[in-house]
Amino acid sequence: MSEPYTKLTTPVFRVSFPAVFTPETDDKGNKFYGVTALFDTKDRAQLAEMSAAVESALITKFGADKTKWPRDLKLPFSDGNVKYNKNQQAYPMYKDQIVVKLKSQMQPGICNAARTAEITDPKEFYAGCYARAT
């Protein structure tokens, strides 16, 4: 039986570190597809639906008592200024951004803005372009 989930569409974000055509491998050897989504901090209110979905999933998995949640839990949202301030030369695009890691074990389908054609060429979906995700 699959777990319940919430399907939503993100606000527009800037793409960083896309791995949508070829999977990456994490430190445990698991393959995944993903993208790092950069949202401007002034758009924080638009992320409320995503935040609520994350919290709902955590409550479903670990219960409502947050003191019983794993201490090393990695949440998808992070403050881009933290990484920017550690190494300004490596991550200038993270300044004043909310960084969200989007991952899946299944390869995502990618389409153009009008949703009339599938994108299969990595030259058409790249770091720096703007996108939405479902």
pLDDT digits (tens, 9 = 90+) for 7-57: 888 999 999 999 999 999 988 999 999 999 999 988 788 888 888 888 988
- With cut-offs at 50, 70 and 90, classify the pLDDT of residue 1: very low
Q: Which two tokens stand for residue 129?
A: 């372009």
Q: What mean pLDDT comes out for the span 97-123? A: 92
**What mean pLDDT value characterizes the chain?**
88
108 C-beta neighbours (distance < 10 Å), count: 16
Give the Cα separation of 20 and 109 in Å (integer). Answer: 8
Give the Cα separation of 97 and 81 in Å (integer). Answer: 7
Amino acid, single-letter form, for residue 88: Q
Whether residue 6 is predicted with pLDDT greater than 80 in this model: the reply is no
